[in-house]
Amino acid sequence: MTGVSFILYISSQTPNSIQAEANLRSMCLTNFPDHHIEIMDVVEHPERALADGIIVTPTLVKVAPGPKQVIMGNLSNIPRVLRAVRWDGTR
């Protein structure tokens, strides 16, 4: 499982955003050796978030590979996140 690309939309230093980023990094380290994470702070880049239609933070968007997948929340349940972002039908 290689070449996984994520965008995580966060709202600066809010608790859920901090927790989501930590959970995502932890998950990627253990599951996806080849991963790319883009952290998008909506406070700093509101126009980008607006364009992407982000309504809640934190929101994780898996952009590649496979179809786009949107997950809202602080990603507290890593196994569930893993099941959601797998595109091979094993979830």
CA distance 62 to 70: 7
| Cis amide linkage into residue 58, ω under 30° from 0 | yes
Q: Which residues pair with 16 in a beta bridge?
A: none
Binding status of residue 4 toward other proteins by CB under 8 A: no
Cβ-based nearer residue to other proteins, 2 or 67: 67
Task: Provide, rounded to whole angstroms, the least separation between the CB of residue 89 and other proteins.
Answer: 15
The smaller minimum CB distance to other proteins, of residues 4 and 42, is found at 42
Applying the rule CB under 8 A, the residues between 11 and 40 that interact with other proteins are: 11-12, 14, 16-17, 19-20, 23
Task: Tally the residues of the chain.
Answer: 91
